[in-house]
Amino acid sequence: MSPRPATAPERPPSARSLLGRSLAPDLACGWMLALIAVANVMIYLVGRPYGFRQHVVEDGAADHAVSAAVVTLVDGRAYPLFAFLFGYGMVQLSERRRSDGAGDAEVRRLQRRRSLVLIAFGAVHGVLLFPGDILGWYGVVGLMLAVLLRRSDRALLWVAGLWMVPAAVVTGLVYGLATGPERGFLWSFEMADPLAALASRPMEWVMAPFALLPVVAAALVGVVAARHRVLEQPFLHRRLLRRTALVGLVLAVVGGAPSGLVVGGYLPVPGTTGSVTLAVVHALTGVAGGLGLAAAFALLADRAPARPGTVVSAVAATGRRSLSAYLSQSVVFVLLLTLPFAGLGASLGTAAATALAVVVWAATVVVSAALDRRGVQGPAERLLRHLASRGRGPRRARAPRPTSPVS
């Protein structure tokens, strides 16, 4: 999205905000966590042959249909949305600190500290729970963005465009060459010995970003969008948001459907060249899909009533605690699905695993809503802010501002 500058006066906050906060970023974060839960739970399915894009080969009609839908609509689409919101949140963080009187040098130091702490969070998460972790990679992306934030909109969009092609090719090779029947990466999920799995995870965590390289482009677009307050002021950017939602989501479906049909067993698995080509197209259109989802959530928030209902408020509360919710999903999945514990990943089909992911996400929504009613931050957010803020001087009290993932 390359938004136009916001020149019109801002709509009164009571019309499109929640407790003085912009609703769209929080709402997008909350729904995003549902998509990430569905995407991640598939990695825990083990004990069967693996097929295209390393999805398990299914037998039942329901599992075939759900596999096709997940690959088409979720796989490679949720993480670009996360990256867009991450880049958006870095700009919001910078603006908040500058409004507190911080200079550019202090803002850059804070951005670097937060990114380094996020890498540390990701290392712990990746080694102990989920080697497909995204936090560490987004911490690296945060260090990149801290350098690029001073560049113009045009420069950032050019970098995003130039990055996309080689990044998509690398990601396409990762997925296109791993077509089964053996597991091609994240081997620790197949290990029943917890110590052997633990020993394997550090290397898996380091390798995971090669499947996530295209998200950098989405993060850069998020920076540009945040400069124009596209999510805070969707009423000023409706035409752009509608076009982005339409084009992005159509591209995501068209580009993801061939891979989805292969994974679902409706089309034969192509040869090596065809597999890599499909994976490259899937990665490119996944970024478009992530931007389309961000635009769609902004339009949804723009249509929200002055007093959002219970569900919208609860999902937004989850978005404000996205880091805690993301980590808690991993804890539940490890306990229920991995072989050293309950081991359900060896028996659940894709349809049942998807239902489990939705239930786990819904549980985080309920908990987040309860915390929100009590005015309690998420524990991971509180720890991140404490560690990243060490050494800074005291801040004056201020009203809450909009947030996005780990911002």
Q: What is the pLDDT of residues 180-219, one digit of tens each?
A: 899 999 999 999 999 999 999 999 999 999 999 999 999 9
Residue 166, C-beta contacts closer than 8 angstroms, at least 6 positions apart: none
Q: How far apart are CA 322 and CA 331, in angstroms?
A: 14
The pLDDT value recorded for residue 407 is 53
Residue appearing with tokens 């209902």: 309
- Strands of 96-209, DSSP E: none
pLDDT tens, residue by residue, 44-86: 999 999 999 999 999 899 999 999 999 999 999 999 999 999 9
Secondary structure class of 21 (helix, strand, coil):
strand
Residue 46 to residues 49, 63, 74, 245, 356, Cα–Cα distance (Å):
8, 15, 20, 35, 16
Omega cis (within 30) before 181:
yes
Q: How far apart are CA 162 and CA 277, in angstroms?
A: 19
Q: How far apart are CA 45 and CA 55, in angstroms?
A: 8
This prediction has a pTM of 0.90
Residue 132, C-beta contacts closer than 8 angstroms, at least 6 positions apart: 40, 43, 126, 186, 204, 208
Q: How far apart are CA 337 and CA 282, in angstroms?
A: 27
Q: How confident is the model at residue 405 (pLDDT cuts 50, 70, 90)?
A: low
Q: Is 22 left (phi over 0), alpha (psi -120 to 50) or beta?
A: beta
- Using CB atoms within 10 A of its CB, is residue 152 exposed (0-12), middle (13-18) or buried (19+)? exposed
* Range with the largest mean pLDDT of 96-105, 249-258, 397-406: 249-258
User: Which helix (H) or strand (E) is 22 found in, with range?
Assistant: strand 21-22
Q: How confident is the model at residue 9 (pLDDT cuts 50, 70, 90)?
A: very low
| Other Cβ atoms closer than 10 A to 384 | 21
Percent of the chain with pLDDT over 90: 80
Q: What is the mean pLDDT of residues 392-400?
A: 45
User: Which helix (H) or strand (E) is 17 found in, with range?
Assistant: strand 17-18
Percent of the chain with pLDDT over 70: 91
Torsion of CA 252, 255, 256, 257, to 10 degrees: 120
pLDDT at 396 over 90: no
The pLDDT value recorded for residue 178 is 86
The pLDDT value recorded for residue 2 is 47
pLDDT at 13 over 80: no
How much is the mean pLDDT over the chain?
A: 90
The pLDDT value recorded for residue 305 is 80
Q: How confident is the model at residue 306 (pLDDT cuts 50, 70, 90)?
A: confident
pLDDT tens, residue by residue, 136-162: 999 999 999 999 998 999 999 999 999
pLDDT tens, residue by residue, 308-339: 899 999 999 999 999 999 999 999 999 999 99
Residue 260 to residues 106, 253, 271, 350, Cα–Cα distance (Å):
46, 9, 16, 13
The pLDDT value recorded for residue 91 is 95
Q: What is the mean pLDDT of residues 1-9?
A: 46
Query: How far from each other are the two terminal CA atoms of the chain, in whole angstroms?
Result: 21
The token duo for 32 is 């995003």
Q: How far apart are CA 37 and CA 360, in angstroms?
A: 8
